[in-house]
Structure 1
C-alpha cells in the first residue's frame, strides 16, 4: 500500500481524532507563530486536514499546505472555505513540487512528518532551498530510534496489514546532524512538554 493510499483511507478517521497532547501542540504553535511576521509566506508540509495551517493564517500574509493525500486536502479545503490567505496543494514533497519557487518562503513547518519521509536528507535540502536567507524551519517528529521498544517489527507487521504507514527509525542526534548537513543554523530544541520520543526543533537558513 502506498503512503497516499494509506492516508486517503484514514483521512476521515484522522480528522476526527483529537490531538494526543493538546498542551504541547499549543506550545508548538505559539513558538512557530513567534517566528512569523504579517508579511510572511509559510509552507506547512504534510498538512493533513489543515489544522496547523489554519492556526497559522492569522499571523501570515499567506500559508500554503501540502499533503500527499487527496482526501486530506479535500477536508482541509472544506475547512478553509471562508479563509482567503491559505492554499492547499495535493502531491508529494519531491522534485515535482513546483508550486513555490526556490527562495520564496519565510518559513516551513513539518509537524509529524520527517519520520514518514523516505529520504530525509533530500527533503531537508529541498526545504532549505525553498527558504529565503534568514527563513525558519520548524519540525516536530517522532524519533523512534531513541526507544527500547521493538517498534520496527511491530510497525512492519502493522504496515503489512495496512494498519500503519512506512515509518523511519532515527535518533534525535541523527536528525540534528542531518539538519546541520543541509545547511541549517541556530538549531534550538524548546521544551514544549512533548513525549520523550518527540523531537521539536527550530532552525534557520543563514542570512
Structure 2
C-alpha cells in the first residue's frame, strides 16, 4: 500500500483544491445515489479521496465508513468533516484489498472513480458483493478509457514508470458493465454524461 499511497499523498493538496470537472454530472450522480439511501443505511465508500462525496451523502444515512489509502487525502477529509460538524462519517486509512468487515455489513457500497485504478477490478467486485446485504446496492462511477482514449495506453504506462501517474486500467464501458454483471449483480441503471468517458452504474445484489 505504501507505494500507491505515496503518489496520492503527493497530489492530495492539488487534488483537494481542484474544482469538480463536470459539476452538473456530479450533482446528477449524487441525486441518483441518494434515491437508494435511507436513514437507516449503513454505507461503505472505498477510495473516498478527500471525502467530499461521503460528506454530501451523510445527511441521508445512518453511518458511512469511508476509506482511502492516502493519509494526506484523509487529512483533508477530516478537516472538512470538522468544519461541517458531521458526526456519522468515519474516515479510515485502508486498502480495499485488506479491509475487513463481516459479510453482509452494508446496505450500499460506493466506488467512485476507483475501479479503473485497481490492478484487477473483478476480485474487488466480488468483495463488494460479499460485504453487501441481500438487496443492497453497489454504486460506481468509472473512467472507461477504452472507448475513445485507448491510444493513451503508452503514455499512461510511461507516466506510471516515472512516478507521475498511478496505475490506470483501460477497458470499455461495455466491458465494465459486463464485469459488474459477471460479479453477480443486477444492473439497474447505467448513465454516461454527455461527452464523458465515465459510466455511472447502479447495481443490485439479488
TM-score by length of 1: 0.93
After the TM superposition, which residues 15-94 of structure 1 pair with which residues of structure 2 at under 5 Å, given as runs? 15-81=16-82, 82-94=85-97
Consecutive unaligned residues of structure 2, counting only runs of 5 or more, are none
Consecutive unaligned residues of structure 1, counting only runs of 5 or more, are none
Q: CA deviation at 1:186?
A: 3.5
Q: Distance in 2 between matches of 1:31 and 1:195?
A: 19
Name the residue aligned to 1:131.
132
Name the residue aligned to 1:203.
203
Structure 2 residue matching 1:97: 3-state secondary structure? coil
Structure 2 residue matching 1:2: 3-state secondary structure? helix
Q: 1:86 to 1:117 in 2, by over 3 A?
A: same
Name the residue aligned to 2:148.
147
Q: Could you list the runs of 4 or more consecutive aligned residues of structure 1 that deviate by over 3 angstroms after TM superposition? A: none
Q: 1:32 to 1:194 in 2, by over 3 A?
A: farther
Asked if 1 retains the 8 angstrom alpha-carbon contact of 2:41 and 2:61, the reply is yes
Q: CA deviation at 1:159?
A: 1.7
TM-score by length of 2: 0.94
Q: Distance in 2 between matches of 1:194 and 1:118?
A: 28
